[in-house]
Chains A and B, each alone.
Chain A
Amino acid sequence: MHLDDPQTAQEPLPRAGEGQIFLGTAGAPPLGEGAEQLLHVYRLNELELSDLGLDELLDELLDRTREILNADTVAILLLDDERHELVARAAKGLEEEVRRGVRVPLGGGFAGRIAAERTPIYIAEVARADIVNPILREKGLRSMLGVPLIVEGRAIGVLHVGTLAHREFTNEDAALLQLVAARAAPAIERARVAEAFEREHLGAVALQRSLLPEGTPAVAGVEIATQYLPARDLVGGDWYDVIELPRGRVGIAIGDVAGHGVQAAALMGQLRTGLRAYALEGHAPGETLKRVDRLMHTIRGQGMATAAYAVVEPESGALRYASAGHLPPLLVTASGGARLLDVQPAPPLGTLPYGMYVDVETELQPGDTIVLYTDGLIERRTEAITAGLERLREAADISTSAFVLCQHLVERLVEEGAGQDDVAIVALRSLPLGPKMRVRLPASPNVLAHVRRLLRRWLHAHGATPAEVASLTLAAGEACANAVEHAYAPRPATFELEASHSDGLVTVIVRDGGRWREPRGEHRGRGLSMIAAVVDEVDVRTSDAGTEVVMRKRLGV
C-alpha cells in the first residue's frame, strides 16, 4: 500500500489545541481486518468515477466512504479559490451543511486547517475542539476525522467523517480515508473543471441567445431569413439584426466580435443595441458604423469587432451598405448567378481612432438577394479565405427564396462535425414582381401602410412616375381604407388588392365582403371623390358578395 502524498502521510504531525489529536500515518497500516475495507477503496476506480458528473460522483463517493469507515456522517468541502474559503458541497448525515452553504475560511477551524496545512486531523471530542461550523455541534457529533483532497500537491478540498458516539479513529482509519481521498481527488477536480466549463458555456449560450433578435419583422416587398448556428464548444460573438426603418425601409446588420465566451457575447449585445439605436436615428450605413465605432472606444475592456450594415428601400430597390473590416456581402441575382459586392476597405470597429466607413450604393432588382454572413460560414483551417469566398459564391448559384438559400448555404458550406466557430447569416430578398400582383390581407387599419408599400413598389417597377405612383397609391389607399372600415365583426374579414398592367394602362381592383359606404360626418364623405379625382376611371360594383372598386389610370399621359 502506498499513499499518494508521502509528505502528509509520513511526517509526524504536531499537536495543537485541546481535544484535538493529530494522527501520524507513518508506517503501513496492518491489513488484517482492514483488508475488506481496502477492497472497497480499490473499487473506487478512477475510470468508473470519471464518467460521472460532479454531483453523482460526490454522492457515490460519500456513500462508499461512509460504508468503508463505518461513520455516521461524511462531508466534502471544496475550495473556492477566489474567496479562500471551503464550501460544503456534498454531505450524508450532515445535509444541512450543504443546504446552508456553510463556508469555512482557509486555515480556520477543523476543515480550514486540514486544507491549509494539507494534513489529516482527528478530533476525539468535538465539544472541546476549536470548531467553526456550528452544525457539527448541533448535530451532536462527538468524534471526527478529516483529510485533505490533494491534486498535484494542491489542496482542493476536505473529506471528513464523523460519529455520534465517541470513537477512537485509528491510524488505519486515517490511512484508509487518505487513500479514498487520494483516489477521489483527481476525479473530483476533473468533474469540477468540466462543470465550471459547462456552466460558463451554457451561461454564454443563454446570454448570446437572449441578445439575438427573436424572429424577423414582416417588411413589405422583401423576404428576410436568418440563420444562427452556435459554436459547439466556445460561445462566439457573432450577431445579426433586422431593423425596421421609417417609410418601409429595412436595415440588416451582421457582426463578429473577436474572441469567445461570456465577454464576447456581452460586448456583442452592446454593439447590436448601439447599431440598432443609431440606425433608428436614420443614419446611413457608414455613419451608423462610425458611431458604433466611437461607442466601442468608450466601452471598458473593449475588444475588436467586424460588422456590415445594409439599408434596403424595397419600393425602389435602392441598396446602400458599408463594412467595417467585414467579409463582403454576397449578391444572388434573380437569374441565379452570385457575386461578391465591392466594399470600401475599412478597419474593424474599435481598432483605430477616427475609423471612417464609406457607403456603397447599388440596386437590388426584384428577385435579387443580398446575403450578409460571418466567417464561420466559409472559413476552414487549412485554406485561404479567398477559397472560402469562392466556395460561397459557387454554393449560392441558385434562384430561390431567402429562407431556402440560408438552409442551402449551411448544408453546402458548414462541414459535418465542424462547429469550431459560430455562424450567422442574414439574407434579404427583394420579392420577384410579375405583370400582375394580387394580395389578400386582414381587414385591419395596421395593414394599410403595408399594402400601399407593395403597390408603390409594383408601380415603380412598372415605370410609373412619382406623381403617378402618388395618385394611384392615394386611390388604392382610399379604397382599401373603405374595405377595412366596413369589415364587420364577428367574422374575421379580409380584403384583396389586385394590380395589373397592360399597354400603359394600370388597373387596380380592391375587393371586400362588405358594401361601399361613405363614412358619416360632414367632412368624411370624400373617399370616392378623392379616388375619382386622381384616376382616369373608377367603377364601384356592389353585389351580395361584396364591393369591388375598379380604378384605371393610363401611365405616361
Chain B
Amino acid sequence: MPLADLEFEVTDRVVIAHVDGEIDMSNAHELENAFSLRMTNDALGLVVDLRKVDYLDSAGIHLLYALRERLDNRGQQLRLVVGTEAAISEALRIADVTRTVGAFETIDAARQSITS
C-alpha cells in the first residue's frame, strides 16, 4: 500500500497535483520526481493540493522547498492548497512554508494567482 496516492490534471497551462495520504522520508523523494516529470516546458506553474495529506514532516517540508527551487530555475511557479483545519498546517506554519511558498484554500484561487 503506497503511503500517498497522486493524481494530476492540467487547467489553463497549470499542472494540478492532488496528493492523498502521508508524506515522510520514505516517499518524499519519489513524489518530488513525480512532480518534476509532469512539468512540461509550456506549463506556467504547479499547484500541489495537500488537502488530503494528513501527515507531513520535515522531509515533506524539504520536498516543497526543493520543488520551489527547481521550478524557479525553470521560470515556473509553485502554489499550495491547504485545508483550514489540516493536521499538517502546523508543520507548514512552523517551517514558514505557508508564507514563503504561498498557500491557498481552493484550487481555483491557487491557479488564478499563477495565471493572473
Interchain Cβ contacts within 8 Å, total number = 73
What DSSP secondary structure best describes chain A's contact surface?
A: helix
Q: Which residue in A246, A474, A521, A523 is a CB contact (below 8 Å) of B57? A: A474
Tell me if A72 is interfacial: C-beta within 8 Å of chain B. no
CB atoms of A524 and B58 under 8 A apart: yes
CB atoms of B90 and A449 under 8 A apart: no
User: What separation, in Å, do the CA atoms of A1 and B25 have in the docked complex?
Assistant: 89
CB atoms of A449 and B3 under 8 A apart: yes
Tell me if A235 is interfacial: C-beta within 8 Å of chain B. no
CB atoms of A246 and B95 under 8 A apart: no
Pick the interface stretch among B6-14, B39-47, B61-69: B61-69
What DSSP secondary structure best describes chain B's contact surface?
A: mixed
Pick the interface stretch among A61-69, A141-149, A478-486: A478-486
Tell me if B22 is interfacial: C-beta within 8 Å of chain A. yes
CB atoms of A448 and B24 under 8 A apart: yes
Pick the interface stretch among A83-91, A152-160, A356-364, A525-533: A525-533
Considering only CB atoms and an 8 Å cut-off, how many residues of chain B contact the other chain?
24
Interface residues of A in 107-147 (CB under 8 A from B): none
Interface residues of A in 446-491 (CB under 8 A from B): 446, 448-449, 452, 466-467, 470-471, 473-474, 477-478, 481, 484-485
Q: A247-B21, A534-B94 are in contact. Are A523 and B66 (CB under 8 A)?
A: yes
B42 to chain A, nearest CB (A): 28
Tell me if A173 is interfacial: C-beta within 8 Å of chain B. no
Q: A245-B1, A247-B54, A445-B25 are in contact. Are A523 and B59 (CB under 8 A)?
A: no
Q: A445-B26, A523-B66 are in contact. Are A246 and B20 (CB under 8 A)?
A: yes
A199 to chain B, nearest CB (A): 39
Report A-chain residues with C-beta under 8 Å of the C-beta of B66.
523
CB atoms of B61 and A526 under 8 A apart: yes
Q: Which residue in A449, A466, A522 is a CB contact (below 8 Å) of B26? A: A449
CB atoms of B94 and A523 under 8 A apart: no
Q: Which of A467, A473, A526 has the most CB of B within 10 A?
A: A526
Report A-chain residues with C-beta under 8 Å of the C-beta of B26.
445-446, 448-449
Report A-chain residues with C-beta under 8 Å of the C-beta of B59.
481
Q: A449-B26, A523-B62, A523-B66 are in contact. Are A478 and B57 (CB under 8 A)?
A: yes
User: What separation, in Å, do the CA atoms of A237 and B66 have in the docked complex?
Assistant: 53
Report B-chain residues with C-beta under 8 Å of the C-beta of A522.
65
A86 to chain B, nearest CB (A): 56
Counting from the closest, the 10 A-B pairs by CB-CB distance are: A445-B26, A470-B87, A523-B65, A244-B1, A533-B94, A527-B58, A477-B57, A526-B58, A445-B25, A448-B24
A–B pairs, 11, beta carbons within 8 Å? A246-B5, A247-B22, A474-B57, A474-B90, A474-B91, A478-B57, A478-B58, A519-B58, A524-B58, A527-B58, A529-B94
Beyond A446-B26, A449-B22, 9 extra complex contacts between A and B, CB < 8 Å: A244-B1, A245-B1, A474-B57, A477-B24, A521-B62, A523-B61, A526-B61, A530-B91, A530-B95
Residues of B within 8 A of A (CB): 1, 3, 5, 20-22, 24-26, 54-55, 57-59, 61-62, 65-66, 87-88, 90-91, 94-95
